[in-house]
Structure 1
Amino acid sequence: MSVTVKIGVLNVQGAVSEHAIHVSKVGAEPVLVKHADDLTGLHGLILPGGESTTIGKLIRKYGLFEPIIEASQQGLPIFGTCAGMILLAKRIEGSEEPHLALMDVLVNRNSFGRQRDSFEADIFVEGMNQDPFPAVFIRAPHVVKAGQGVQILATLDDRIVAVRENHLLATAFHPELTDDLRMHQYFKQMAESYQAK
């Protein structure tokens, strides 16, 4: 009998419950992650949106900073949405120090404006069927530059808004705020590949 895929959702700030609901809907088991022990037995980890500087401080406060980096080094799939993309980035435009510094990208924070400038746009994501994805952008970042090993999955007005590097996945938008489950299904497949190793 196959073991259920367990996908953690970092539970310190942001759209935690919305991600957990989507994880359930794609047939995986959501696990809320607030302490290092919660990472045990996971097949994937989602870093939700929120405020990246605050989340960066909270993962240190809860003792998750090093364990997340170590889990990534062991190949655990990690999916960062919006602020999660900033957390994953090795470089952030301006003087800000990177957070987890796992993904070979340079990001621009708040590149689409303030909260009131939030919007939805149909984008095409590589590896999904031809139907556009209804992407929700809220004070969203974008990837300014992607390293050689980084696959660009989606762009909007020449800005890179979805990327993958091996076991790392990041979107500038919030897939958990739509009814479209394809991004979570895509990540579940990454988690299943990890589980099968």
Structure 2
Amino acid sequence: MAKRIGVLAVQGAFAEHEAMLGALGAVCHELRKASDLEEKPDGLVLPGGESTVQRKILMESGMFSPIRSWIGEGMPVLATCAGLILLAEHLSNDARTCFETLPVTVRRNAYGRQLGSFIAEAKVRHIGTMRQNFIRAPYIEQVSPEVEVLSETEGHITAVRYKNQLALSFHPEVGHDTRLHEAFLRMI
């Protein structure tokens, strides 16, 4: 039976995740409003985009509490860029946190504005070397001891796993390498 993935689709790069997961045999369901949460998915994607906009829509739409409960209950989550910011317990340069389920401190827009975007090749633990696309990316400044660091790029933590939360500073969905999405599906 195909794994059913809920993809937060209020803003940002959700279509690319849907395409990649669909190619791997998953069925994606877009989460745009509270009524989209009636059927609980097997896993959740929190895509890149603008975290402040996503947070505002989550709060105003009534989706925040159910999704936070799902994550707290152990639902597997793949979070990229803005999704990482939404999960973080602490933000070093913004007081507006969201789900607070990932015990890390994140710096928003850590590499600067859009012109600070770049591509790097770096190792990801359990995966191997892969291309990492950073677009107005955050990075992780601190992790709690129970958080597994999966990747570091230019001396900064850029990928972690904590329980069933896989959180990345970069965008694996914009390339052709499906290994991180495959790892996410194996968590389900």
SS in 1 for 2:62: coil
Task: Determine helix, strand or coil for the equivalent of 1:24.
Answer: helix
**Among 14, 20, 23, which residue is 2:21 paired with?**
23
- Partner SS, residue 124 of structure 2: coil
Distance 1:113 1:94 in 2: 13
Give the whole-Å Cα distance in 1 for the aligned partners of 2:16 and 2:166: 18
Q: 1:143 aligns with which of 128, 137, 140?
A: 140
> What residue ranges of structure 1 are gaps of 5+ in the alignment?
192-197
Consecutive unaligned residues in structure 2, runs of 5 or more: none
2:176 maps to 179
Provide the identity percentage.
39
Poorly superposed stretches of 4+, deviation over 6 Å: none
Matched with 2:89 is 90
Q: Deviations over 1:52-77 (max 9, x none)?
A: 11110011122110011111122111
Q: How does the TM-score come out when normalised to structure 2? A: 0.96
Pairing of 1:143-162 with structure 2 (within 5 A): 143-162=140-159
CA shift at 1:123, angstroms? 1.1
Alignment correspondent of 1:54: 53
Q: Output the TM-score relative to the length of structure 1.
A: 0.91
Residue-by-residue CA offset, 1:95-149 (whole Å, 9 max, x unaligned) = 4221111100000111111101211111110011x3x211100010000000111
Give the alignment's Cα RMSD to 1 decimal: 1.1
> d(CA) in 2 for partners of 1:73 and 1:95?
23
- Figure out how many residues of one structure are paired with residues of the other and give that number: 187
SS in structure 2 opposite 1:124?
strand
Partner of 1:34: 32
Q: Which amino acid aligns with 1:35?
A: K
Shift of 1:37: 3.9
In the aligned structure 1, how far is the partner of 2:103 from the partner of 2:116? 28
1:80 corresponds to which residue?
79
- 1:81-106 CA-partner distances (Å, limit 9, x unpaired): 00100000000003422111110000
Query: Structure 1 residue 188 and structure 2 residue 188: aligned?
Result: no
| Whole-Å separation in 1 of the counterparts to 2:83 and 2:17 | 12
Distance 1:109 1:97 in 2: 11
| Residue pairs, 1:110-125, within 5 angstroms | 110-125=109-124
CA distance in 2, matches of 1:186, 1:88: 19
Secondary structure in 1 matching 2:151: strand
Contact 2:93 2:108 in 1 (8 A): no
Aligned counterparts of 2:35 and 2:182: Cα–Cα separation in 1: 25
